[in-house]
Amino acid sequence: MKISPIMREYLGEIYRLEHSPDGVTTSALAERLEVSPPAVVRMLRRLDEAGMLTHIPYQGVKLSTQGEREALRSIRRHRLLEVFLVRVMGFGWDEVHEQAHGLQLTITDAFEDRMDAVAGFPTHCPHGDPIPTKEGQLTEVNDQLLIEAPVGAQGVIRRVKTDDGDKLRYLAELGLVPGTRFHILNRAPFNGPLRVRAGDREHILGTEIAQVLRVEMKNDEGRRTNDE
């Protein structure tokens, strides 16, 4: 059976949900893909018939090896489009998820390759997520939630996990973007706000905004003391 771009997009979302704490559910898929739950159920049946996934009783669906390969193609295309839209076309990082969502259904493989080259063969999307290679290799991500890092922790912001345009614009204003160095200066008790230095600026971050940031710490072992 031929896999259509829409089928591939579903597979991409299933893959993302499989690797998220939410897990794969009909309602999560319906929300992410902006379709109705019955449409999701119909598509899952088609993908099952095409050998892309299996239903596991009481657990939902799981991608087959072939399904996973198609999913990674979809994710690659989505993330490459995002980089292309930001770097080459000058869109804001808060605008590109929506754009990529529509475009990925229409572009050809040759278009994708050209985009990759023009954007400088990027390895990560503007939000810090790794782009699968053409061969379907996806770099393992080793980061953690900023809000779970201890006071004194230092390192680099790696990913921003939100599609909320307002949050993305706010984070960009503060310079809290992938690649920025951070240092947690203080934390108010009882899940209170964090005081963080990012680059050469200081910010007070509430939990709602801090929890979308994922960071890589300079010293995971906690061996670091005060050798600034």
Q: Which residues bind Zn ion (CB under 5 A)?
A: 82, 125, 127
Least CB distance to Zn ion at residue 201 (A): 24
Least CB distance to Zn ion at residue 9 (A): 15
Specify the residue, 163 or 216, whose C-beta has the smaller distance to Zn ion: 163
Specify the residue, 87 or 197, whose C-beta has the smaller distance to Zn ion: 87
Least CB distance to Zn ion at residue 98 (A): 11
AA identity, residue 21: P
Q: Are strands 154-160 and 181-187 parallel, antiparallel or unpaired?
A: antiparallel
Least CB distance to Zn ion at residue 73 (A): 16
What angle (nearest 5°) sits at the alpha carbon of residue 106, between those of residues 169 and 47?
A: 100
Specify the residue, 125 or 153, whose C-beta has the smaller distance to Zn ion: 125
Strands (E) located in the chain: 53-56, 60-63, 144-145, 154-160, 181-187, 194-198, 201-205, 213-217
Least CB distance to Zn ion at residue 57 (A): 34
Helices 96-103, 65-83: axis angle to 10 degrees equals 130
> Three-class SS of residue 150?
coil
- Rounded to a whole number of angstroms, the distance between the first and last alpha carbons of the chain is 59
Given a contact cutoff of 8 angstroms between Cβ atoms, the answer to whether 85 and 96 are in contact is yes
Specify the residue, 36 or 133, whose C-beta has the smaller distance to Zn ion: 133
Least CB distance to Zn ion at residue 55 (A): 29
Least CB distance to Zn ion at residue 96 (A): 7
Catalogue the long-range contacts made by 164-169 (C-beta closer than 8 Å, 24 or more residues apart).
Answer: 164/212, 165/94, 165/95, 166/94, 167/209, 167/212, 168/92, 168/93, 168/94, 168/127, 169/92, 169/94
- Identify the helix (H) or strand (E) that includes residue 64: none
* Cα 141–chain centre separation: 11
